[in-house]
Amino acid sequence: MRTLSGGSGNVPRMSEPTRWTADQVLAVAPDQSSLASARKLAGSADWSSVGVAQQAPVLWGLCKGSGKSPYQTCVDLTEPAYRCSCPSRKFPCKHALALLLKWSAGAVPVDEPPAWVEEWLESRSARAAKKAEKVAAPRTEAQELAAQKRAQSRHDKVLSGVAELQQWLSDQVRNGIAGLESGGYRHFEPVAARLIDAQAPGLAGAVRRLATIPSSGAGWEERTLAEMSMLHLLAGAADRLDTLPPDLAATVRSRLGHPVTTEQVLAGAAVRDVWQVIGTRDLTEDRLVARRVYLIGRDTGREALVLSFAAPGQVLSADLVVGTCLEADLCFYPGSFSLRALVASRHGAPELMVEPEGSTSVAAALDRLSRALGADPWLMSLPLLIDGVIAPGERWHLVDPSGDALPLEPGVECWRFVAAAGGAVSKIAVEWGPAGLVPLTMFRDGEVLAA
């Protein structure tokens, strides 16, 4: 770690915020075409009065557009947040990206922020304060009662859906699952739809995922039976929710799909640490793109997952940049093993991270995994940070210096990591899943490589 002093105290404010690498700028681009435009724009002579503040981590510049007056472009590096007076609806727009690229290349001088930048910063902090106020306001007694009543009637509905799911699962096993391969999605859809009606979207989603397994190639029978059994386990747990320890009950509720409000999460205890952003992965599910950003606490060693969603055409949040770390309070969703979290508050700007701390051997990572599964048997993903080498082959592996190896997910290859490492041990962030590992990021020689 280059820029942070030890301990979890205040991060010393640098005279100029640490510059991002070009790769990190690329990571926040909403799409490839904005990136291409930004790349051109960064080299053009259309820019004037660009600067980076000494006191606050903020960049700005004026960029000549097609109109009369130039666009005012400004980036607050803490979140990061972007503002530009151009009409683009992309976020960040090509001007903000170009400004970041310029800065990353060292072409932005330190300067005093002009008045329009100051104004924007002030209006932002005013808005943030208002939001915090709203969150802090407690619910009234009547509101609390109504909420409890709603939860109870919802739970009754869920239980009726759960009972039907249990019956359906038993029927499959009684009649044999061999025919599912040719049955297609249609066989699963009625029960998934029924679970939606029963307000158990988590279970419905699990049934729809199950529907994809019979067509997933060799070994589908084992995988299908395994996932059916995990659903059975979940249904059983839902049935006797009241008898479970509170944390496990919370895990079961979240797997069923009970909503947890942001307020409820933020009301929990915060974990303050220097959070290292070690990897990200975008997945499309139900026509919605979900971005998973994985963090590992430098001091606590705790894993965290920050999720964000976007409908097609919308831009995903890019406020956590791989290869940076930020001192922040994270609030975790309730559960017996809580991975998903929200950033409650930030302390200072993100810093560039040369190499994340807390990488382990394969054996230690498996140890970590088994403890997590012990707490949450339904766990489907967990970030691991392992010192090792990616080994190509019929089936690819991540192998550590002792020769211990874990298989990658079938069909996953990562020549980029192989070429860059040249067989040398590197810190590799992966996402564990029941089918195998998916490489996310490689940290090597001060470089951050996305898979």
Rule CB under 8 A: choose which of 2, 10, 43, 126 binds another protein.
43
Please tell me the count of residues contacting another protein according to CB under 8 A: 66
Q: Is 22 in the site for another protein (CB under 8 A)?
A: yes
Pull the structure tokens for residue 175: 């009649």
Please identify which residue in the block is written with the tokens 């029927």: 171
Q: Is 435 in the site for another protein (CB under 8 A)?
A: no
The pattern of x and - marking residues 388 through 407 that bind another protein according to CB under 8 A reads -x-xxx---x-x-x-xxxxx
For the bound state, the minimum distance from the C-beta of residue 37 to another protein, rounded and expressed in Å, comes to: 7
The pattern of x and - marking residues 372 through 391 that bind another protein according to CB under 8 A reads -xx--x-----------x-x
Rule CB under 8 A: choose which of 159, 307, 366, 438 binds another protein.
366
Q: Is 243 in the site for another protein (CB under 8 A)?
A: no
For residue 103, the Cα-to-chain-centroid distance in whole angstroms is 26
Beta-bridged to residue 281, according to DSSP, are 292
Mark the segment that binds another protein (CB under 8 A) among 20-28, 150-158, 201-209, 315-323: 20-28
Rule CB under 8 A: choose which of 124, 232, 272, 347 binds another protein.
232
110-111 and 47-53 as β-strands: parallel, antiparallel, unpaired?
Answer: parallel
Q: Is 64 in the site for another protein (CB under 8 A)?
A: no
For the bound state, the minimum distance from the C-beta of residue 386 to another protein, rounded and expressed in Å, comes to: 11
Through-space distance between the first and last CA atoms of the chain, rounded to whole angstroms: 22
Backbone phi, psi, residue 236, to 5°:
-60, -40
- Gyration radius from the chain CA atoms: 24
Beta-bridged to residue 292, according to DSSP, are 281, 307
Query: What is each CA distance from 187 to 168, 181, 257, in whole angstroms?
Result: 11, 10, 22
Pick from 192, 191, 195, 193: which is nearest to 158 by CA?
Answer: 195
Distance CA 177, CA 183 (A): 10
Segment 172 to 191, residues that bind another protein, using CB under 8 A: 173-178
For the bound state, the minimum distance from the C-beta of residue 391 to another protein, rounded and expressed in Å, comes to: 5
Pull the structure tokens for residue 241: 């929710």
**What is the sign of the dihedral through the CA atoms of 61, 64, 65 and 70?**
positive
Please identify which residue in the block is written with the tokens 């910063």: 121
Q: Is 418 in the site for another protein (CB under 8 A)?
A: yes
Binding site for another protein (CB under 8 A): 22-23, 26, 32-33, 35-37, 39-40, 43-45, 105, 166, 169-171, 173-178, 221-222, 225-226, 228-230, 232-233, 236, 362-363, 366, 369-370, 373-374, 377, 389, 391-393, 397, 399, 401, 403-407, 415-416, 418-424, 434, 447, 449
